[in-house]
Every structure is written in C-alpha cells, then in structure tokens.
Amino acid sequence: MYKNAKPILEANEDSITWLKGENSNLILKTRAKTIVCLPHIASLVVPGKTLIGAENPKEKFIELTKDMVTGPPRIITGKNFIKGPGTVIGIEGFNYSVTEKGISKFPHFGGVIIGDNVEIGANTCVERGALGDTFIGDDTKINNLVHIGHNVKIGKRCLIVAQSGIGGSCVIGDEVYIGFGCTVKNGITIGDHAFIGMGAIVLKDVPAGEVWVGNPAKKLEKP
C-alpha cells in the first residue's frame, strides 16, 4: 500500500505516482510500486509493480489520492533570504481537471526550496509543488508582483522583473533575465544565459544564450 505521492522519477517504494503519456520506460525507471497509467500500458507485466489502468490517468490519480493528507507546505529557505511585504510562499497551485463529473483539483504534496542570497519583492506568489518541490536557486532576485507557478525550477543568479508570470513546471536555467511583464507558458524550458525581453509571451522552449522578444516570443536575430 502506498504511503506518499511523488513524481514518477522522484518516487520511492512507498509512493503512488502516475505516468503522463506513452513513455512506458519510465515504469522501469521509477522506484514506485504503484503507477497509474493508460490501459494498454497497464496490461504489461512488470514484476514488483502494480499498474492501474485508466483512460484518464491524471483523473484516476486524483481519485486515489483524494483522502491523503497533503499537510502544510514544507518551505526551506537558505541564508540571507529577503522577502518583501505581502509576498506569499507555499500556496497551492492552480491545477484542475475538467471531467463529466465536474472539476477536480490536483493534490499538492510538495513544498518550496529557496537557495542562499535570494530576494523576493512585495506581493509576489510562489506556489508549492504538486508532487515534487518548487525550487529557486542561489542569488536569484525576483521583483514585485511576480507569479511563480507550482513545480517551477529556477536556476542561480536569475533576474525576474515585476508583473511577470512563470507557468507551472517551467525550468529556468542559470543567469536568465526575464524582463518586465513577461508571460512564460507552463512546461517551458529556458536555457542558461537566455534573455527574455519586456512583455514577451513565451510559448516555446528557449535555447541557452538566446534573446527572445515579442508576442509570441521569437529569437531576436542580430542585424
């Protein structure tokens, strides 16, 4: 019987997890013994694993974990952490599934980990992770009125300017600059040393070292 819920590659033997999509190789890589997945994947015989098939694995996972206690958000802060007034760290994220039965909220078991010398301005929101943790790396500075979604991973020495929104599960590399009023779609990866210009709407992954601007954001070519 499972005792906790974790992302598929961070799970332990006591975890329940779910497989998003068709990559059945992850079932062999995970330490979890209970995995919710698509029916044709659940038909596989994997010793030591209990595979639960569902046409909507995410919704089935929500059903199976609805009675598990999420508990207060775990928040770890490093040295010299500065937080502005009105900033909230560890609130649950916005993650819902719409089905014929209604709207289901995805559980949030994760926390927030903040590195050393991080500054977060006023009235900013940093959501706790759903299954893993939201992470902000050393020496990163985040301005006022910024939204950091659940499961976001931000690297070291990043600068994120006011009124920007980082969607859930984004991965931001080291020394990335995100200008005033930018929006980064959930699940996007931005490489190290990238520069996102003011007001950009980022809908695609940004390679390391590139400058992206506009709506939708595109690489700024050198003249």
**Is residue 12 within 8 Å of 32, Cβ to Cβ?**
yes
The sign of the CA dihedral 64, 67, 68, 71 is: positive
Cα 16 to chain centroid distance, Å, stands at 18
Residue 167: exposed, middle, or buried by beta-carbon count in 10 A (0-12, 13-18, 19+)? buried
Catalytic residue list contains 150: yes
**C-alpha closest to that of 189 among 166, 202, 170:** 170
Which residue among 108, 147, 150, 193 is the active-site one?
Answer: 150
Considering only the C-alpha atoms of the chain, give the largest distance between any 2 of them, rounded to a whole number of Å: 61
* Active site residues per annotation: 150
